[in-house]
Amino acid sequence: MEALKVKNQELESILHIANHDLRTPLVNIAGFSGELSKSFQDLQKTLEKVDDPWELKKELTEKLKEDFSDSLDLISAGATKMKLMLDGLSHLVKAGFSAAKIERLNMNILIGTLLKTIRFQIQQAQTEIAVEELPDCLGDNSQINHVFLNLLENAIKHRDPSQTGKIRVSGRMNNGYSIYCIEDNGPGIEVGNLEDIFKVFYRLNPAKNNGEGVGLAIVRQIVNRHNGKVWAESEIGRGSNFFVKLPNHKKNLDLMGNNTY
Quote the least distance from Cβ 191 to ligand ADP, whole Å: 13
The bridge status of strand 166-174 relative to strand 128-131 is: parallel
> Which of residues 29, 95, 137, 155 is near ligand ADP by CB under 6 A?
155
- C-beta neighbour count of 183 within 10 angstroms: 19
Nearer residue to ligand ADP within complex by CB, 171 or 186:
186
Q: Half-sphere exposure of residue 100, counting CA atoms within 13 Å on the CB side?
A: 27
Q: Is 211 in the site for ligand ADP (CB under 6 A)?
A: yes
Q: Is 204 in the site for ligand ADP (CB under 6 A)?
A: yes
Quote the least distance from Cβ 133 to ligand ADP, whole Å: 23
Q: Is 252 in the site for ligand ADP (CB under 6 A)?
A: no
Nearer residue to ligand ADP within complex by CB, 228 or 247:
228
CA dist., res. 113 & res. 152, Å (int): 13
Binding-residue total with ligand ADP (CB under 6 A): 21
Q: Is 165 in the site for ligand ADP (CB under 6 A)?
A: no
Residues 168-187 that bind ligand ADP (CB under 6 A): 184, 186-187
Only segment of 15-23, 24-32, 204-212, 252-260 that touches ligand ADP (CB under 6 A):
204-212
> Which of residues 212, 221, 222, 225 is near ligand ADP by CB under 6 A?
212
Burial class from Cβ neighbours inside 10 Å (0-12, 13-18, 19+) for residue 143 reads buried
Nearer residue to ligand ADP within complex by CB, 68 or 243:
243
Nearer residue to ligand ADP within complex by CB, 213 or 247:
213
Q: Is 110 in the site for ligand ADP (CB under 6 A)?
A: no
Q: Residue 145 contacts by C-beta under 8 Å, 6 or more apart in sequence?
A: 110, 114
Q: Is 197 in the site for ligand ADP (CB under 6 A)?
A: yes
> Which of residues 146, 203, 225, 226 is near ligand ADP by CB under 6 A?
203
Nearer residue to ligand ADP within complex by CB, 129 or 138:
129
Q: Is 84 in the site for ligand ADP (CB under 6 A)?
A: no
Binding residues for ligand ADP (CB under 6 A): 154-155, 158, 184, 186-187, 189, 197, 202-205, 209, 211-217, 240
